[in-house]
């Protein structure tokens, strides 16, 4: 960094900062110059978090950053150092257990990451050195090495393609692990290189590593003898990315340009960080409140102790020793303060964190055991990789989903075509379409509506205008007839003869294969490309050969692609296909209207539509176009702009032939799932690396975009319009869209979380990767901040957002942008490929789909499900229930411990602030561990306050718990007030009883331990019965733990006080419990205090009309279902729990 700044300051070579020079094969260029090898990083991949040396300190540091762990560490140290009323074991042992278990778990996970890194780094690769082929481990690769890769192998680093085994100098790769697309992409070698790479002397100058998968700029200087070096331009078509796989090509050679953590794949990898749920944050906030209460109690008692001692002489039975008298007064006060802290410490028990961890761990098994998540196709169910986020599934506000393999099956099917305004649709029987009776069959039979010549021209266009390759397989094609899609009713004389071998099609886009197969249905078969010659078999079984002259590749601005071919007769034809909006302006307008209505209807139905046009080129027109194309392709500056200008110049005055409709089949129940999620108040964003037209069609098919939705588009195409600079146009569009979607939108009514629920107009937003880069990284920092805010506000007021042509890191940037926006909404990312890993790791909750694109997404996700449709139940049922359960657990735990420790605090006012415990040490230890822990654990695992079927049928119920509704401060204060009320009732109720301490028939008085035992008995029974009142879904487990806990308390008290224990110095409770129960007054006060504690809450619910999220759904469920058999539990207020709800729902 310092060297770069000095170079910049003193006019050094700035090119070193912005570009790198690579010596191919580590040879000096030119040969007579001195060679100083540049330094680049090696090819080692590191994804682990710890090493052997830093694991212990780093892990302990991370764990003690949690407030709870640090607090209990301090309490443990105080108990060790200071003479306190309780033993250090009560805090130290649970803390040690929690820290150890967490460390073992995190250490094991990091060991797995180390193991995966070793597999990648030690993978053997072949390298050419001095003409010899040697084997190296992947981590030993260096920039400049010439690497050999064979078919089906993965590229070990980013390579420039130098040589291919294919005659045409191309190779095919799949990039499923990078952008999620399983289609074959074509890459090209650098032209005019030596056939023997041993004698190649060249350098490559290219940009520094950057994460954009679709961008690469460089040039190669080739040195031959003493001549001036030849210069070749390099682009993305020459770059093979690490993680991609070589397909349909025996062998390639490439030179390494980016290695290790500088590869595009590594730059797009988002490191895995520990995720924390909103519930955990609420616990920490509540913990701070109770810490304040704890400190306040200790300060009050310490102060009053010394005030009391100043007014009263030291009693004879508690006279101070000489050592105590010599102790510094302030030190003694501080020691007393710490002792009170330890005495009241049980207000924040470590057992709550243990119970929460157990609830999360055991609760996660219910997801894995859910039979509805089992997919018979892959014979797998759901997978839980982390149990820390179960409750977060019930708080999701934004869903970011991949398209390919998640929303869709990536399985294109040709549906219909339109030729000269006449529609040809494959279906059984006949139907009335647009006023024309269409009968299934070959297009040349029954009704020759468009004319045979136009039909054949259209089908030739489908067979020629593409980049499809034919892959021969060794399997014999005996069943070829079954594999070919053909028209229903086709006569046997029309069926194609099966070729010698079965042919497979590969292409960079699956819709191209669908179009080629669609042409096969009508008798035109693409036979392949051989030495720049494209061969097709027409319906007369004649082979037609066309010379491929140029391919005008698809780009997101033009939104069309073309080919120039020369027939055997010498005619030069341009065939073009593309989106309707890009084709219609380039053709004669009188032909547009005949096609437009078919295209619009197909688009509304969710099909992907393409229009097809052609043009005859004269010899002069072709010669000019050929020269312009060659010149533009050699340009080093503004190459894309120059090529686009030539493309637009050639693709004019075309003749429109027809249009096609292709269906990208959705996942099962994709539309219903999206509808349910939107109904639950979640906003769905589609983040895809696919083209805009493809993704937009999918959004329509899924119902994310409706027919009435107005689309706001911010893409390169819209930025190019208007004649202004892109930056200026971006500013104008953002302001225009903000005015439409935000400023002019009516205000949102109270209680409505969805903006489109109240607006009369729906908006959808579309942005591409290039435009997003401009929004996120504007030239001016102030502009960038302004653009981000405008962009976010627009998106948050749209029904759905589509982000296309996204690099993996851009997906994560989008998620991070929303996650850190105002209100910190809970985000969920779902995808199936390695390209989705970054956004899965970035979101609060990451969901992996067990799809066809490998298992990288599944391995890095928090939860994995077989299909998208399972997301509905995962969120609406499991997420809802988990959140309600753990929210009640947290509130209940704070409540019951406030009830527990408040009498202990009040007792100090009656014992001279002497730190005398109210309860026996056994009760202090067992209260949270045994007496009250199991009922709340069972509740937090089994409770179903609303039936699962009702939750799935009424997705709006999910909104009622949104924004952490059950852990808000209002409810927290209610539970705290309830705890204070119960604590006061317990203490002063027994105190009133003890106004006459002679409570036994023999006149024997009760002592202080009897007093504490009665308070403790009322406490245990009240908090347990309170939970019983809160339980709606009763199972035998609930009955067992609730009544069993009460029985165990009684049994333990008899047992503990009925035996003289030799290891105890003081037998405080010897026969205390038995004597207490021999008093009728004690029985009476226990029963009365329990009823008095619970009665106000019961009366409040009975007499007051139920309110709150779970009560409001009563009318909604009854009105929507109207079913007398609907479960009782779904229609009862939250606090009115009765024992009659048993077995209304199943676990």
Residues linked to residue 651 through DSSP beta bridges, in sequence order: none
DSSP reduced 3-state for 681: coil
Residue 529: CA count within 13 A, CB half-sphere: 20
Measured in degrees and rounded to the nearest 5, phi and psi for residue 558 equal -70, -35
Give the whole-angstrom CA distance, residue 581 versus residue 556.
Answer: 12
* Cβ atoms 902, 984 nearer than 8 A: yes
Give the whole-angstrom CA distance, residue 1143 versus residue 1038.
Answer: 11
Rg for the chain, CA atoms, rounded = 37
Give the whole-angstrom CA distance, residue 842 versus residue 809.
Answer: 10
Q: Which residues contact 1057 (CB under 8 A, 6 or more apart)?
A: 1069, 1070, 1071, 1072, 1073, 1074
DSSP state string for 560-620: EEEEEEE-TT--EEEEEEE-HHHHGGGB-GGGHHHHHHHHHHHHHTT-EEEEEEEEEE-HH
Q: Is 731 exposed, middle or buried (0-12, 13-18, 19+ CB in 10 A)?
A: middle
Give the whole-angstrom CA distance, residue 91 versus residue 730.
Answer: 60
How do beta strands 398-401 and 827-831 pair?
Answer: parallel
Residues linked to residue 159 through DSSP beta bridges, in sequence order: 240, 256
Which single residue is written with the structure tokens 């056994």?
A: 922
Residues linked to residue 180 through DSSP beta bridges, in sequence order: none
DSSP reduced 3-state for 1026: helix
E strands along 1065-1133, which residues? none
Q: Is 626 a catalytic residue?
A: no
Give the whole-angstrom CA distance, residue 592 versus residue 135.
Answer: 60
Q: Catalytic residue among 158, 179, 336, 402, which? A: 402
Give the whole-angstrom CA distance, residue 680 versus residue 879.
Answer: 12
E strands along 362-402, which residues? 383-384, 398-401
* Residues, the chain: 1147
Give the whole-angstrom CA distance, residue 621 versus residue 446.
Answer: 40
How do beta strands 383-384 and 202-207 pair?
Answer: unpaired
DSSP state string for 778-840: -SSHHHHHHHHHHHHHHHHTSSEEEEES--HHHHHHHHHHHHTSTT---EEEEESSGGGHHHH
Greatest pairwise CA separation for the chain in angstroms: 126
Q: Is 363 exposed, middle or buried (0-12, 13-18, 19+ CB in 10 A)?
A: buried
Q: What are the CA-CA distances from residue 682 to residues 367, 407, 676, 699, 762 (Å)?
A: 21, 16, 9, 16, 15
**Tokens in use for 516?**
């080629």
Measured in degrees and rounded to the nearest 5, phi and psi for residue 1068 equal -75, -30
Q: Taking Cα atoms as reference points, which of 763, 747, 840 lies closest to residue 800?
A: 763
Q: Taking Cα atoms as reference points, which of 417, 427, 442, 429 lies closest to residue 495?
A: 442
Q: In what order do the strands lie in the sheet with 245-247?
A: 184-188, 170-174, 245-247
Burial 294-309 (b: 16+ CB within 10 A, else e): beebbeebbeebeeee
**Tokens in use for 1062?**
């030799």
How do beta strands 683-687 and 19-23 pair?
Answer: unpaired
Question: Catalytic residue positions?
Answer: 402
């Amino acid at each position: 960094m310092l060297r770069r700044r000095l170079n910049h300051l003193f006019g050094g070579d700035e090119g070193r900062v912005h570009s790198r020079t690579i010596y191919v094969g580590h040879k000096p260029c030119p040969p007579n110059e001195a060679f100083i090898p540049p330094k680049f990083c090696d090819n080692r991949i590191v994804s682990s978090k710890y090493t052997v040396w830093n694991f212990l300190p780093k892990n302990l540091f991370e764990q003690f950053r949690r407030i709870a762990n640090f607090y209990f560490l301090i309490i443990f140290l105080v108990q060790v150092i200071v003479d306190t009323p309780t033993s250090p074991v009560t805090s130290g042992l649970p803390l040690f257990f929690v820290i150890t278990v967490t460390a073992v778990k995190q250490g094991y996970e990091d060991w797995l990451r180390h193991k995966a890194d070793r597999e990648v780094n030690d993978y053997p690769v072949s390298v050419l050195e001095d003409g010899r082929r040697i084997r190296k481990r992947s981590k030993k690769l260096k920039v400049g090495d010439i690497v050999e890769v064979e078919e089906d192998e993965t590229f070990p680093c980013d390579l420039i393609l130098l040589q291919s085994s294919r005659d045409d100098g191309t190779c095919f790769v799949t990039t499923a692990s990078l952008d999620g697309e399983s289609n074959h992409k074509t890459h090209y070698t650098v032209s005019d290189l030596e056939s023997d790479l041993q004698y190649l002397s060249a350098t490559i100058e290219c940009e520094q590593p950057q994460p954009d998968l679709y961008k690469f700029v460089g040039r190669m200087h080739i040195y031959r003898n003493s001549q001036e070096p030849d210069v070749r331009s390099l682009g993305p078509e020459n770059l093979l990315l690490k993680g991609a796989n070589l397909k349909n090509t025996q062998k390639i050679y490439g030179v390494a340009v980016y290695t290790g953590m500088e590869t595009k794949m590594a730059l797009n990898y988002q490191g895995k960080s520990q995720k924390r749920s909103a519930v955990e944050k609420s616990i920490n906030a509540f913990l701070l409140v109770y810490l304040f209460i704890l400190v306040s109690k200790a300060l009050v008692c310490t102060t009053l102790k010394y005030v009391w001692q100043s007014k009263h002489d030291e009693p004879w039975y508690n006279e101070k020793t000489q050592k105590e008298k010599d102790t510094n007064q302030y030190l003694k006060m501080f020691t007393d303060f710490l002792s009170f802290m330890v005495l009241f410490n049980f207000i924040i028990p470590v057992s709550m964190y243990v119970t929460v961890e157990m609830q999360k761990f055991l609760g996660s098994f219910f997801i894995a055991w859910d039979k509805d998540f089992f997919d018979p196709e892959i014979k797998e169910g759901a997978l839980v990789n982390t149990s820390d986020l179960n409750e977060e599934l019930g708080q999701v506000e934004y869903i970011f989903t991949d398209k390919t393999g998640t929303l869709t099956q990536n399985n294109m099917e040709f549906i219909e075509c339109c030729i000269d305004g006449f529609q040809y649709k494959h279906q059984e029987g006949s139907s009335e379409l647009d006023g024309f009776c269409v009968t299934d069959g070959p297009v040349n039979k029954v009704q020759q509506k468009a004319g045979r010549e136009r039909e054949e021209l259209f089908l030739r266009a489908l067979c020629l205008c593409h980049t499809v390759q034919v892959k021969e397989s060794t399997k014999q094609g005996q069943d070829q007839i079954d594999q070919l899609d053909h028209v229903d009713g086709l006569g046997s004389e029309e069926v194609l003869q099966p070729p010698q071998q079965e042919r497979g099609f590969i292409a960079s886009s699956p819709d191209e294969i669908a179009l080629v197969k669609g042409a096969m249905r009508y008798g035109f078969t693409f036979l392949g490309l051989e030495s720049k010659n494209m061969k097709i078999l027409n319906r007369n079984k004649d082979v037609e050969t066309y010379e491929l002259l140029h391919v005008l590749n698809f780009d997101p601005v033009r939104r069309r692609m073309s080919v120039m071919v020369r027939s055997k007769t010498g005619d030069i034809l341009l065939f073009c296909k593309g989106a309707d909006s890009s084709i219609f302006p380039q053709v004669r307008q009188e032909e547009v209207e005949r096609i437009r209505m078919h295209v619009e209807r197909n688009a509304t139905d969710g099909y992907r539509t393409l229009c097809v046009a052609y043009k005859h080129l004269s010899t002069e027109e072709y010669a000019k176009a050929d020269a312009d194309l060659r010149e533009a392709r050699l340009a080093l500056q503004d190459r894309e702009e120059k090529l686009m200008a030539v493309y637009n110049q050639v693709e004019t005055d075309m003749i429109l032939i027809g249009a096609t409709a292709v269906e990208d089949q959705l996942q099962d129940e994709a539309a219903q799932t999206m509808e349910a999620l939107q109904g639950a108040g979640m906003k769905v964003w589609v983040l895809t690396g696919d083209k805009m037209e493809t993704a937009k069609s999918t959004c329509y098919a899924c119902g994310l975009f409706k027919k009435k939705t107005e689309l706001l588009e911010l893409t390169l195409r819209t930025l190019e319009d208007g004649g202004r600079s892109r930056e200026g146009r971006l500013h104008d569009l953002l302001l225009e869209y903000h005015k439409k979607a935000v400023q002019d939108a009516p205000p949102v009514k109270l209680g409505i979380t969805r903006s489109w629920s109240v607006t009369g107009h729906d908006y959808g937003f579309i942005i591409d990767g290039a435009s997003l880069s401009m929004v996120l990284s504007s030239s001016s920092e102030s502009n960038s901040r302004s653009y981000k805010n405008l962009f976010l506000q627009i998106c948050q007021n749209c029904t759905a957002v589509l982000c296309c042509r996204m690099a993996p890191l851009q997906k994560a940037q989008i998620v991070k942008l929303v996650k850190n926006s105002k209100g910190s909404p809970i985000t969920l990312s779902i995808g199936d490929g390695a390209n989705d890993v970054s956004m899965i790791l970035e979101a609060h909750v990451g969901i992996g789909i067990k799809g066809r694109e490998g298992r990288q997404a599944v391995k890095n996700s928090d939860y994995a499900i077989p299909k998208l449709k399972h997301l509905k139940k995962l969120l609406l049922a499991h997420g809802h229930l988990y959140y309600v359960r753990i929210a009640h657990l947290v509130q209940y735990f704070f409540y019951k411990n406030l009830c527990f420790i408040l009498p202990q605090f009040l007792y100090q006012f009656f014992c001279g602030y002497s730190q005398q415990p109210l309860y026996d040490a056994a009760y202090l230890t067992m209260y949270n561990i045994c007496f009250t822990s199991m009922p709340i654990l069972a509740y937090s695992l089994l409770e179903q306050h609303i039936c699962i079927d009702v939750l799935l049928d009424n997705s709006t119920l999910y909104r009622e718990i949104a924004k952490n509704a059950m852990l808000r401060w209002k409810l927290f204060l209610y539970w705290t007030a309830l705890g204070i009320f119960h604590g006061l009732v317990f203490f002063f109720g027994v105190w009133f009883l003890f106004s006459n301490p002679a409570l036994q028939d023999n006149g024997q008085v009760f002592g202080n331990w009897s007093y504490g035992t009665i308070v403790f008995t009322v406490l245990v029974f009240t908090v347990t019965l309170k939970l019983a009142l809160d339980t709606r879904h009763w199972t035998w487990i609930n009955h067992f733990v609730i009544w069993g806990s009460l029985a165990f308390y009684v049994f333990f008290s008899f047992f503990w006080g009925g035996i003289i224990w030799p290891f105890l110095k003081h037998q405080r409770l010897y026969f205390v419990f038995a004597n207490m129960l021999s008093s009728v007054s004690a029985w009476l006060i226990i029963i009365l205090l329990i009823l008095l504690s619970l009665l106000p809450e019961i009366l409040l619910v009975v007499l007051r009309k139920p309110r709150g999220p779970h009560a409001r759904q009563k009318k909604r469920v009854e009105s929507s279902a109207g079913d007398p058999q609907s479960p009782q539990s779904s229609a009862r207020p939250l606090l009115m729990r009765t024992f009659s709800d048993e077995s209304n729902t199943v676990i």
